Amino acid sequence: MLCGIPGIGKSALLEYAVHSASGFRVVRVAGIEIEQELPYAALHQMYSALRSHTVVLPPPQRKALAVIFGAEAGEAPDRLMVDLAVLGLLSAAAVDQPLLCVLDDAQWLDSASAQVMSFVAHRISAEPLAIAFATRPPNQLLNSLPEITLRGLRPADARALLLSALHAPLDEPVTERILAEARGNPLTLTELPRMAAPNQFAGGFSRPDALALSEQIEPGYRQRVASLPPDTRTLLLVAAAEPEGDVSLLWRAARYLGIAPSAFDAAETDGLVEVREKVTFLHPLARSALYRAAGLAQRQAAHRVLANVTDPETDPEWRAWHLEGS
Ligand SMILES: Nc1ncnc2c1ncn2[C@@H]1O[C@H](COP(=O)(O)OP(=O)(O)OP(=O)(O)O)[C@@H](O)[C@H]1O
Ligand SMILES: [Mg+2]
């Protein structure tokens, strides 16, 4: 299972897997946000593709699938019967030709499909059958599968991608700042130059006037943030004002503000941010939404705190940058 924030390259990597799997038959399934509440909606995509193989299933299993997908009348089947039927279906389909099942956007799987796919994924053994999932975190439904977390492009690759997406040359300090803010996210690196005129980059895109980022996505994040406790919101704003995602800097800022680092837990539980080696927002838009939703005075206060806790010896440029924003 590939796991990672929006735009980090999960679908691109699944596509790569599909292209690399020469000789495989490929079945694609995708979680669909508006179908999350419909039991077996995602599984139906797979069933449609492989229906012809149901003839080899034992009759009770065949019947179980027919009933859940409305092809036959009958009592709702046992969960295990459905699990076994889907395992049987995939194994049968893999007999003639190896089978790769690609399941993208697994964060939107309906829970019934997720449970079945998790059962099947745990039982693949000798069959020429592979299942690759991609999901945004957190995904509680599939959390026991072996996982690879995508963490963004390496700095040299990020730079090459940014430069390839620009229509005009950029000053080196501005390039550096964008690279720091994008944190290797290929979507951010390719979309942002498209969304802004080069002169809007000056000062980096975390400034409120910098970019007209998607007006449709931001309000959702603003609402989520509004429901968090005040100390959590304060720390989130500090994190949003800090492009590098430096964890120790964030904790220094918390101490400076007299806020316990545990105040950040609520934001992590909500899935808005993740604190590992870096502070990472679920989505670059979550960060900009937060930053822009705060009032000017709050933003200035956040930069003032960051300037105060940034080491003037080792990071004079960032300190100056925060002072400028304060
Ligand atoms: N390694 C890469 N090099 C260059 N561009 C990339 C790379 N990986 C992804 N991209 C580009 O970045 C964009 C986002 O990638 P992708 O759609 O795979 O993200 P995602 O993780 O699936 O996001 P979401 O959670 O929103 O589905 C796409 O335009 C994709 O072509
Ligand atoms: Mg994707």
pLDDT at 209: 39
Q: Which atom, in ligand 1's list, is nearest to the CA of 134?
A: 22
What's the order of all strands across the beta sheet hosting 2-3?
25-30, 99-104, 129-135, 2-3, 148-149
Q: Which atom, in ligand 1's list, is nearest to the CA of 4?
A: 21
| 2 C-alpha to ligand 1 centroid (Å) | 12
| 14 C-alpha to ligand 2 centroid (Å) | 9
* Residue 17, φ and ψ in degrees, nearest 5: -60, -40
Report how far apart, in Å, the C-alpha atoms of 303 and of each of 73, 221, 242 are.
64, 21, 8
Q: Which residue in this structure is represented by tokens 């939107």?
A: 108
pLDDT at 13: 97
Q: How far apart are the first and last CA of the chain?
A: 42
| 296 C-alpha to ligand 2 centroid (Å) | 34
pLDDT at 271: 77
pLDDT at 214: 45
Ligand 1 neighbours (beta carbon < 6 A): 4, 6-12, 136, 153, 161, 186-187, 190
- Ligand closest in space to the Cα of 15: 1
Nearest CA to ligand 1 atom 3: 186
The per-residue pLDDT for range 149-175, each reduced to its tens digit, is: 998 899 999 999 999 988 777 777 777
Enter the tokens of residue 249.
């800097």
| 249 C-alpha to ligand 1 centroid (Å) | 29
Enter the tokens of residue 150.
């995508």
CA distance 107 to 32: 9
CA distance 288 to 211: 9
Report how far apart, in Å, the C-alpha atoms of 306 and of each of 17, 173, 303 are.
42, 20, 5
| 32 C-alpha to ligand 2 centroid (Å) | 11
Q: What single-letter amino acid sits at 61? A: Q
Q: Would you kindly state where each structural domain of the chain is located, as residue ranges?
A: 2-149, 155-201, 218-325
10-residue stretch averages of pLDDT, the chain, 326 residues long: 91 97 96 90 94 94 94 92 96 95 95 95 90 88 88 93 83 76 84 55 44 49 83 94 90 96 90 85 74 86 95 88 88
The Cβ of residue 58 has, within 10 Å, a number of other Cβ atoms equal to 12
- What is the maximum span of the chain, computed from C-alpha positions, in angstroms? 74
Reported for 12-20, long-range contacts at CB under 8 A and 24+ positions apart, including other chains, are: 12/186, 13/134, 13/150, 14/102, 14/104, 14/132, 14/134, 17/100, 17/102, 17/132, 18/100, 18/102
Nearest CA to ligand 1 atom 1: 9
- Which of 1, 2, 3, 11 should be mutated for ligand 1, with most atoms under 8 A from CB? 11
CA distance 259 to 200: 34
The Cβ of residue 174 has, within 10 Å, a number of other Cβ atoms equal to 16
CA distance 132 to 124: 12
Reported for 66-72, long-range contacts at CB under 8 A and 24+ positions apart, including other chains, are: 68/39, 68/40, 68/43, 69/40, 69/44
2-149 classified as CATH 1.10.287: no
Enter the tokens of residue 233.
């919101």
pLDDT at 195: 52
The Cβ of residue 244 has, within 10 Å, a number of other Cβ atoms equal to 14
DSSP states along 126-181: SSSEEEEEEEPSP-GGGTTS--EE-----HHHHHHHHHHH-SS---HHHHHHHHHH
pLDDT at 55: 94
| 197 C-alpha to ligand 1 centroid (Å) | 22
pLDDT at 213: 39
